[in-house]
Amino acid sequence: MNIFMRRCSGVFLVFCLLLLMTGCGAPAAAPASDPTASDGSGSYEVTDARGRVVKIPHKPQRIVTLSIYTDEVLLGLVPSSRMAAISKYLDDPKESTVVEQAKKIPNKVTNPTAEQILVWQPDLVIANGWTSMDMVSAVSDLGIPVVVCNSANNYAEIQDCVRLVAASVGESERGEQVIGKMDEVLQGIEAKVAQIPASQRKTVVLLSIMTEYGGAGSTFDAMCHYAGVTNGIAAVGVQNGQTLTKELLVKSNPDILLLPNYDDHGTYDAQRFIQSYLEDPSLQTIPAIQAKACYYPRESYIYNGSQDFVFGVQELAYYAYGDVFKQPGGRHISFSGEQ
């Protein structure tokens, strides 16, 4: 299973149809005062992405999340000691920006049932937009607060998600620190991008095994905007959720192709997929193939839907414009007090 699908749902099959994503909706209503002392008992309420008012009896210390992106959000807000379980894929540097923190958390989520979640004795579950209401209700009926935060397709929606998660765990101030750092990093990237003449701007296509991902309205499309590149398939009218055919790839005429670099822990032959494009005679007129401008970005950045989205923007700018945007792996925005 590939990294993006894991971030979105944790258990989708590699070739399942990509669901059209919705935004986070309105940001969570933060408690009017310090949530740990809001009513004398430490309880507080948040409104989640589905409009549910969720009462949280105390600042949670055993949190379970059901997707990679919310794991990464949380590990920028709280230390690993406050996490009861996380995605099992967060140990993999190809997929995760929080590898070291993840190693400290023994319980790993695959596709848990409500009963399995209960075994971990969480005091808060952060669900995602694909979590069924039956699951949400089942966990809630066990007396465990459940907050649903949808995946996000753009920068503002990611920030809304950070605010919702931060409010849910009683760390709204840290949430604003994370958002402030996101803005700082992004502004630095944009300042460098502004120095690139229009005549030197690149057209980029993300060649994903999810042939319905990457068009207008996707997180990748939002990254392209900030990185100062044209998303080739969006430019020819492909919307997120529509299939990228080889004919549309030719029409997009990209200067740069970004290729998949994961192998699903040895279970998927990405190279065969790549060769089906790079060796196809009908695609040899594409500038990126002619110039061999076909690169393998770090997918932990390029498919990122957490606060580390900004490093995806920088990764994209690096492959388009060179070393002025070079960055190390494993970058992660965190105010949890844990490195």
Shared domain for 37 and 129, answered yes or no, is: yes
CB < 8 Å & 24+ apart, contacts of 39-47: 44/170, 46/147, 46/164, 46/167, 46/168
Residue 177 reports pLDDT greater than 70: yes
Residue 335 in any domain: the answer is: no
Residue where a domain stops, chosen among 137, 159, 186? 186
Please count the structural domains in the chain: 2
273-326 pLDDT, tens digit per residue, is 999 999 999 999 999 999 999 999 999 999 999 999 999 999 999 999 999 999
Determine the structural domain holding residue 7 and report its residue range.
3-186
Residue 237 in any domain: the answer is: yes
Residue where a domain stops, chosen among 132, 159, 186? 186
Residue 314 in any domain: the answer is: yes
Across the chain, where does the E strand assignment appear? 44-47, 53-56, 63-65, 83-87, 108-109, 124-128, 146-149, 203-206, 230-231, 256-258, 294-295
Query: Three-state SS string across 186-211, please?
Result: HHHHHHHHCCCCHHHCCEEEECCCCC
Shared domain for 180 and 209, answered yes or no, is: no
User: Rounded distance, CA 23 to CA 151, Å?
Assistant: 6
CATH number of domain containing 37: 3.40.50.1980
Residue where a domain stops, chosen among 186, 213, 246? 186
Torsion sign, CA atoms 170, 105, 141, 162:
positive
149 closest CA partner among 38, 71, 82: 71
Shared domain for 172 and 239, answered yes or no, is: no
Shared domain for 124 and 151, answered yes or no, is: yes
Residue 144 in any domain: the answer is: yes
Residue 334 in any domain: the answer is: no
Q: What number of other Cβ atoms are within 10 A of residue 318's Cβ?
A: 20
125-153 pLDDT, tens digit per residue, is 999 888 888 999 999 999 999 999 987 89
Shared domain for 75 and 144, answered yes or no, is: yes
- The DSSP element (H or E) to which 96 belongs, if any, is none
Shared domain for 166 and 218, answered yes or no, is: no
Band of residue 6 on the pLDDT scale cut at 50, 70, 90: low
Shared domain for 12 and 104, answered yes or no, is: yes
- The DSSP element (H or E) to which 3 belongs, if any, is helix 3-8
Question: How high is the pLDDT of residue 150?
Answer: 86
Q: How many helices (H) and strands (E) does the chain have?
A: 14, 11
Residue 181 in any domain: the answer is: yes
Shared domain for 204 and 81, answered yes or no, is: no
Residue 332 in any domain: the answer is: no
Question: How high is the pLDDT of residue 36?
Answer: 36
Residue 11 reports pLDDT greater than 70: no
Band of residue 23 on the pLDDT scale cut at 50, 70, 90: very low
Residue 46 in any domain: the answer is: yes
pTM: 0.87
Shared domain for 229 and 262, answered yes or no, is: yes
Exposed / middle / buried, residue 284 (Cβ in 10 Å: 0-12, 13-18, 19+): exposed
Shared domain for 129 and 222, answered yes or no, is: no
Exposed / middle / buried, residue 10 (Cβ in 10 Å: 0-12, 13-18, 19+): buried
Band of residue 265 on the pLDDT scale cut at 50, 70, 90: low
Q: Which single residue is written with the structure tokens 């699951």?
A: 135
37-77 pLDDT, tens digit per residue, is 344 468 999 999 999 999 999 999 999 998 888 999 999 99
Shared domain for 244 and 173, answered yes or no, is: no
Do residues 50 and 148 touch, judged by C-beta distance below 8 A?
Answer: yes
Shared domain for 44 and 168, answered yes or no, is: yes
